[in-house]
Structures are given as structure tokens and as C-alpha cells.
Amino acid sequence: MTVMTKDLKPKANASNQANVTRFLAKVEKNKAILTAKKGEHGKPCRLIFAMDATASRQPMWDKACHLQVEMFNATVMQQNLRVQICYYRGYQEFSASHWLHNSEAVREKMCSVSCLGGHTQIYKVLEHALLEHKNHKVQAVVFVGDALEESIDDLCHLAGKAGILKIPVFIFQEGKDPRVRQGFQQIARLSGGAYAAFDVSSAKELGALLGAAAAYASGGKKALEQFSLQHSGKVKQLAQQII
């Protein structure tokens, strides 16, 4: 018995050492994974919010701005989200703010914008989003407008690039122009985003739609689905468009 014990003891020690080695390797691997996740989670998410500020939107501009500010106060600023306000108006005027991270800055920027006659510049919105993405990853683009006066082929080309880079464009159309709807839907689809329409009678839906886009930018498709559970109608339809 004594001889057998001496023969088996070294084998047991080798087995124990191998188990310890595997355990320590697993601990280090898990630590690396957790560290990576923590770093990724700590990065701010970015949402570009673009507005058509041409004269045709003047009748509903004040109400829309109020709803937009209200949405950012209630939804966006509670998340780890940075917002950039963009708008176009007048003769080729296009403006983009700094990245904002508090509701007061967002409110001041939105309320400072007024409408001015001019043609649409959606191409500049998409082009700007692609350029910003090169510097800092952009999780989503939101665009609110009522007209489309540019080449749909050119816009779809940029939308396709956005789709490849996983920058979904959420487009919210004011009004019911069928030609505009068709163009907006194509842009949204090619970018991997979503489309919805609203008008004066359903203006409050705009706030919920913007909240849905902000939820996606902050937490992806899962967050959007959770947000849609609290709403009905167009918000649920919006969530269903995201693949």
C-alpha cells in the first residue's frame, strides 16, 4: 500500500497543478472580457439630429421644436448620449453644433433656429454624418423634414454607405406628399433605419418617434423594442422596420 501511495501522489499533484493553471487562465480571460465590456459601455453614444428649417415648415415649427426639446429632456439626457443639432435653410446654409450632453444646451440650440426659405439639403446631412463617423462613431441619424428636392439616386448612394457603416437614418416626414414619402422610405431602408410620417393632427407622435430613435442610439435594437412596449401605433411600426 505504501508503494502504491508513493506512485500515485506525484500524478495527483500534476493533475491539481493542471487544474489550477486552467482555472487561472479562465480567470484572466474573464477579466479581459469584463474590462473590454466596461470600456465599451463607458463610451458615449452619439446621435445626429437634423432638421429641415426651410419656410415650408414654419406653420408647425414652434410646436415641433417644443416636442423635440421635451423628448430630449425626458429621454436622451437620461442616457449616455451626445447629441449634435444640424439644420439647413436659406441659400445653402447648413449648420452643425458641437456635441451636446445636457438638456439646457439642446434647448437653447433648438430654440435659436428659425425657418428661412430655401431648397432641401439632405445630401449635406448624410455627407456630414459620414464625415462625423470617421472621427467618432455615430450610432444613429434622425432627420425631420417635409420635402425632397434633390436627386434620389445621389441620396440613396450616401444612404447605402451609411448602411454599410451601420449608421441607421430615422426619417420622420411632416405631411403626406407621396413622392417625398417614397424617397424618404428608400433612404431609411438603405441605411438600415426606419421611416414614419406625422402631421399637425398627430404632432404628439413626433415626440414618441424621436424618443424611439434616441432609445436605439443609446442601447440598440433591444432598447428600441423595450421602448416600443410602452407605446403603440407608429412607434411599434418603427421598431419592426429595424432588422
Tens digit of pLDDT for each residue in 138-191?
999 999 999 999 999 999 999 999 999 999 999 999 989 999 999 999 999 999
At 51, give phi and psi (nearest 5°).
-130, 140
* Contact criterion met (CB below 8 Å) for 130 and 167: yes
The Cα–Cα gap between 100 and 83 comes to 5
pLDDT for residue 85 is more than 90:
yes
User: What does the longest C-alpha to C-alpha distance in the chain come to?
Assistant: 100
Q: Are strands 194-198 and 45-52 parallel, antiparallel or unpaired?
A: unpaired
Helices (H), 75-203: 103-111, 122-135, 152-164, 178-191
pLDDT band at 15 (very low <50, low <70, confident <90, very high): low
* Contact criterion met (CB below 8 Å) for 168 and 129: no
pLDDT at 135: 93
C-alpha cell read off for 159: 444612404
pLDDT at 138: 97
pLDDT for residue 76 is more than 70:
no
Over residues 17-73, the pLDDT tens digits come to 665 555 555 444 444 333 333 334 567 899 999 999 999 998 878 777 777 777 666
Name the nearest CA neighbour of 125 among 102, 159, 151.
159
Name the nearest CA neighbour of 69 among 96, 46, 100.
100
Over residues 178-204, the pLDDT tens digits come to 999 999 999 999 999 999 998 766 667
52: left (phi over 0), alpha (psi -120 to 50) or beta: beta
The Cα–Cα gap between 8 and 181 comes to 79
pLDDT at 79: 63
Secondary structure E strands in the chain = 45-52, 81-89, 93-96, 140-145, 169-174, 194-198
The rounded Cα 225 to chain-centroid distance in angstroms is: 14
The number of residues in the chain equals 243
pLDDT at 38: 37
